[in-house]
Amino acid sequence: MKFNTKTIHGGQHNVDPAYGSVMPPIYQTSTYSQSTPGGHKGFEYSRSGNPTRAALERAFASLENGEFGLAFGSGLAAIDAVVKLLKPGDEVVSTNDLYGGSYRLFTQIYEDFGIKFHFIGMENAFRIEDFVNEKTKLIWVETPTNPMMNIIDIKAAAAIAKKHNVLLAVDNTFATPYLQRPLDLGADIVMHSATKYLGGHSDVVMGALVVRDKELADRLYFIQNASGAVCGPQDSFLMLRGIKTLHVRMQRHCENGKRVAEYLQNHLKIEKVYWPGFETHPNHEIAKAQMDDFGGMISFVTKGNDYDEAIRIVEKLKIFTLAESLGGVESLSGHPASMTHASIPREEREKTGVVDALIRLSVGIEDADDLIADLEQAIGG
Ligand code: P1T
């Protein structure tokens, strides 16, 4: 089945044996009757499993060319489940430019539990190997990175992970499986903040994991059930509905992203634009090889690297709503230093380019002419 068919039908066979409804019903129930202890029809308690969530988990697996999908109450809950595969004393090599909340989870929760994180620039993926030792259990890659749009070579990272018998997890939130399928490139775990493009309508907070290996899936399922950070049936339904248009939305996000990136690139008041579609992007060739297009996320700084000017612009934008999050049909703007990445200490974030003058755009699927006109009025000529 090709991707554009999978978004609609992937994992969705026989979702309603009772009446044949085309959409999976919302099983709004916490529990299921048993004829005798253990005598149930496959579900016993909705933390452990729910038919609407199960339909969604099959859809997640199908989109990422995986075998097993797991749905969580948020992207961070999904990441949390991955880190719970580890034990005190274990080490992780992680991308240094990553979502601020992932960094906060790693440094302010799990470092206290005795897990050590090495945050490194992975633009040259071979650097990862310098930080792998006998304690390393996980390589955490986010690509494209949030918010600097760095590209990390997943195949190269996977080769290092295999060589050292370490798990490779890829946060595929920015690319989505429409653009990039990390399991096909050798990753063991693919993770999503499904809150973003997968849901696509800024109405659900959710996370996803997809794997191929049965033993790994069983362990992650054990953690999901034992820790309990599951999503509910209503949200599972909304996510299934969102996924059905992922391919058409992503196509437009990519087209509009290109238009906006090129507009900003040619603007005299803009110092630098971060978008992997530019031939001048340091890892453009890797992006071209591992992604099918370049997406709708763009970051930029104005000339003079001026904080006040950046704030003035995000306040003045009208169609781009100033808000946390990304990946919805509506365009959003963000100021990473004070919003999504505020939990990363200034000196750490500035090392990766997250300066006070940086603006991040999530380019939506409105008419590109209107988006450019909005930027024009906000940035000025
Ligand atoms: O917000 P949540 O669903 O828990 O997902 C966390 C997360 C994980 N990974 C990446 C790459 C993310 O971008 C996020 C969430 N990011 C934002 C809210 C944001 O505005 O960047």
Q: Can you give the three-state secondary structure of 28-68, one letter per residue?
A: CCCECCCCCCCCCCCCCECCCCCHHHHHHHHHHHHHCCCCE
Alpha-carbon distance 292 to 52, whole Å? 31
Alpha-carbon distance 293 to 65, whole Å? 18
Q: What is the pLDDT of residues 318-333, one digit of tens each?
A: 999 999 999 999 999 9
Q: Quickly tell me which residue has 């044996």 as its tokens.
A: 17
Atom of ligand 1 nearest to the CA of 146: 11
Catalytic residue among 80, 97, 153, 171: 171
Q: What is the pLDDT of residues 16-43, one digit of tens each?
A: 989 999 999 999 999 999 999 999 999 9
Q: Is the pTM of this model over 0.75?
A: yes
Mean pLDDT of 259-282: 97
Quickly count: other Cβ atoms within 10 Å of residue 376's Cβ: 12
For residue 341, the model assigns a pLDDT of 92
For residue 113, the model assigns a pLDDT of 98
For residue 14, the model assigns a pLDDT of 86
Q: What is the pLDDT of residues 96-120, one digit of tens each?
A: 999 999 999 999 999 999 999 999 9
Catalytic residue among 6, 80, 99, 360: 99
For residue 305, the model assigns a pLDDT of 86
Q: What is the pLDDT of residues 40-51, one digit of tens each?
A: 999 999 999 999
Q: What is the pLDDT of residues 126-142, one digit of tens each?
A: 999 999 999 999 999 99
51 prior amide bond cis, ω within 30: no
- Is 80 marked active-site? no
Q: What is the pLDDT of residues 226-245, one digit of tens each?
A: 999 999 999 999 999 999 99
Specify burial of residue 179 (Cβ count, 10 A radius: 0-12, 13-18, 19+): buried
Q: What are the residue ranges spanned by the domains of the chain?
A: 3-243, 246-379
Q: What is the architecture, at CATH level 2, of domain 246-379? A: Alpha-Beta Complex (3.90)
Closest CA to 359 of 381, 328, 337: 337
Q: What is the pLDDT of residues 240-266, one digit of tens each?
A: 999 999 999 999 999 999 999 999 999
Q: Is 171 in the pocket of ligand 1 (CB under 6 A)?
A: yes
Beta bridge partners of 204: none
pLDDT > 70 fraction of the chain, expressed in percent and rounded: 100
For residue 325, the model assigns a pLDDT of 98
Q: What is the architecture, at CATH level 2, of domain 3-243? A: 3-Layer(aba) Sandwich (3.40)
For residue 7, the model assigns a pLDDT of 98
Alpha-carbon distance 349 to 343, whole Å? 9
Mean pLDDT of the chain: 97
Distance 196 CA to ligand 1 centre (A): 8
